[in-house]
């Protein structure tokens, strides 16, 4: 009798464990913290969640100058330089022209613009099926790149940067 109860408990534990693991694999999540760059006072957080074949970026900032700011994914996950230029250029694994996401040609890193209010607070939410987290596909995998917030507005036409100005915040997109 003890052997039957013990065997039943083991089978139940395996079933519960498998069910829990399959649910946790359904969504991937990264929580990131921005560093101020170029003598700015910008602070912020970003969360990437991959679920059902789509990735959602949600980011929140303080310390920005009021107005419109560009946000892009850049090539390298290196935020070490004081001006943020150690991240390289925009992430562009498909070798397209810079532009506005979803309109003509655009880099995979061309997220776009968002607005900071009169107190310097801003946020952005962006969802796409053109990114993933950790697949190893160089045309879709956002890992080992960085997010840069720019001082100015992306004009969606100046090549290859959108003429968005200095880099005021940076975070590496890495597993922690």
62-98: pLDDT as tens digits: 999 999 999 999 999 999 999 999 999 999 999 999 9
Taking the domains of the chain in order of start, what are their residue ranges?
27-173
The burial class, CB within 10 Å (0-12 / 13-18 / 19+), for 60 is middle
Residue 139 CA to residue 60 CA, distance in Å, equals: 26
Tens place of pLDDT for every residue, the chain, 176 residues? 444 444 333 443 343 343 333 344 578 999 999 999 999 999 999 999 999 999 999 999 999 999 999 999 999 999 999 999 999 999 999 999 999 999 999 999 999 999 999 999 999 999 999 999 999 999 999 999 999 999 999 999 999 999 999 999 999 999 87
Instruction: Check residue 20 and give its pLDDT.
Output: 34
Q: CB 124: neighbour CB atoms within 10 A?
A: 20
**Tokens in use for 8?**
């039943």
**Tokens in use for 23?**
């649910």
What residues form DSSP beta bridges with 99? none
- Give the CA count within 13 Å in the CB-facing half-sphere of 103: 6
Average pLDDT, the chain: 88
Residue 118 CA to residue 66 CA, distance in Å, equals: 5
Map residue 90 onto helix, strand or coil: strand
**173 close to 121: Cβ distance less than 8 angstroms:** no
Instruction: Check residue 9 and give its pLDDT.
Output: 38
Give how far Cα 138 sits from Cα of 123, 132, 173, Å.
27, 10, 14
Residue 50 CA to residue 58 CA, distance in Å, equals: 12
The burial class, CB within 10 Å (0-12 / 13-18 / 19+), for 91 is buried
Instruction: Check residue 25 and give its pLDDT.
Output: 55
Residue 57 CA to residue 92 CA, distance in Å, equals: 18
CATH architecture of 27-173: Sandwich (2.60)
């Amino acid at each position: 009798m003890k052997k039957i109860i013990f065997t039943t408990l083991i089978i139940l534990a395996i079933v519960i464990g498998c069910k829990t693991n399959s649910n946790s694999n359904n969504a991937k999540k990264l929580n990131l913290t921005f560093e101020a760059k170029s003598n700015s006072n910008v602070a912020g957080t970003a969360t990437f969640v991959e679920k059902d074949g789509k990735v959602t970026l949600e980011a929140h900032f303080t310390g920005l100058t009021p107005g419109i700011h560009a946000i892009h994914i850049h090539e390298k996950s290196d935020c070490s330089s004081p001006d943020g230029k150690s991240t390289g250029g925009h992430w562009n694994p498909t070798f397209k022209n810079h532009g506005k996401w979803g309109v003509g040609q655009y880099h995979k890193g061309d997220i776009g613009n968002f607005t900071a209010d009169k107190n310097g607070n801003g946020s952005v939410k962006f969802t796409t099926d053109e990114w993933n987290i950790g697949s190893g596909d160089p045309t879709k995998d956002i890992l080992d790149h960085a997010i840069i917030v720019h001082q100015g507005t992306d004009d969606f036409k100046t090549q290859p940067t959108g003429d968005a100005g200095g880099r005021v915040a940076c975070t590496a997109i890495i597993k922690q």
